[in-house]
Amino acid sequence: MRSIGILGTGAYLPPTEVTNEEIAVRAGVTDEWIVRKTGIRGRRRADPGQATSDLASAAGARALEQAGVGPGDLSYIVVATSTPDHPQPSTAAIVQDRLRAVNAAAFDLNAVCSGFVYALTVTDRMLSTEPGPRFGLVIGADIYSRILDPTDRRTAVLFGDGAGAVVLGPAPQGRGNFAASLLTRGDQHELICVPAGGSRTPATARSLDEGLQYFRMDGRRVREFVGDNVPKAVADLLTDAGLSPHEVGHVIAHQANAVLLREMWPAFGVPRATLHLTAESYGNTGAASVPITLDSAHRSGALGDGEVVLLTGFGGGMSVGTVLTRWLPTRHARSAAPPVGSTVSGRS
């Protein structure tokens, strides 16, 4: 099995900014409440004419440009999303057409907010076992603004729209992705859901009247799930990889809630690492949050050659995905202005 690494990153955030004040009125809360509960100060909204594939294509093109890989060189395009353009065809097929990646097999993957880490792991496994130098484009993209109940303060204040992407390809010895773990707790699938619109409860006039097309989340139990499972998944993967927690340099986590991440940070048990945050500026962007935050850290120059970067996503299903990669420099790390982010340092 050949080593596969991240050769380039890219992100796309829609230009329309939505402040806490705009969200707070309909949700029945205040800007102060949103910041205190979530740490989020703003988020982006897709324009009415934009679909998930539009955001995904823009992020993918930026990652390809940075990696110096042409669309025709791609063997795979995998789009992680739970807000696809249509129930069918796949959003990835539309992205393949937009990018003119005529040689790439394309498909979607839905593990909700864990989706990008799941897609990264699947694509890495495909590339590492196939002959010849091959490349894959992995994209996380979501437009949650289309499935939110604006009066539900538990969800309306959290989410933004966006996309992030990476190009995967051959990595030199000692660099690239070297460990991954995926976990699903299907017995808790009801904690996060969109009740209607699928085969169990098709969309009808009655389901629309009842608001069953909206995203729903049991916030308290989701927080408990994250606390019980994410730090343990990190510790178990480090043990399985034979890596000391002190060797982790950076953590790129799903940006579910900035307050939650700051509170949970000590439990990660990686005392010399830096936790990168974009939730304060962009909110929870679903499957896009990990690659957007990765792109922000990378383009700011924070990730050094050979440093260990831990990626972890968690979300509906309920699911957790974690990947360890040893960073390798890319061709144009500063080829575009990075998204806005901040850090929490555990370095000593």
List pLDDT tens digits, range 202-261: 999 999 988 889 889 998 999 999 999 999 999 999 999 999 999 999 999 999 999 999
Query: Which residue did the predictor score with more confidence, 214 or 104?
Result: 104
Structure tokens that stand for 214 in this block: 């909206």
Q: pLDDT per residue over 75-99, tens digit each?
A: 999 999 999 999 999 999 999 999 9
Phi, psi of 29, rounded to the nearest 5 degrees: -130, -170
Considering the entire predicted model, what is its pTM?
0.95
Question: Residue 332's pLDDT band (boundaries 50, 70, 90)?
Answer: low
Would you state the pLDDT for residue 337? 61
List of E strands, the chain: 4-12, 16-19, 42-45, 74-80, 105-109, 135-143, 161-170, 176-184, 192-193, 216-217, 248-253, 274-277, 308-315, 319-326, 342-345
Instruction: Tell whether domain 176-345 is in CATH 3.40.47.10.
Output: yes
- What class has domain 4-170? alpha beta
Question: Where along the chain do the CATH 3.40.47.10 domains lie?
Answer: 4-170, 176-345
Question: In the beta sheet, which residues pair with residue 176?
Answer: 326
Write down the pLDDT at residue 330: 77
- Residue 70 φ then ψ, to 5°: -80, 150
- In terms of C-beta density within 10 A (0-12 exposed, 13-18 middle, 19 or more buried), how is residue 247 classed? middle
| Residue 338 pLDDT level (bands cut at 50, 70, 90) | low
HEC profile for 254-269?
Answer: CCCCHHHHHHHHHHHC
Question: What is the helix (H) or strand (E) element at residue 234, kind and residue range?
Answer: helix 219-241
Q: Is the pLDDT of residue 334 over 70?
A: no
**pLDDT tens track for 312-321:** 999 999 999 9
Catalytic residues: 113, 254, 284
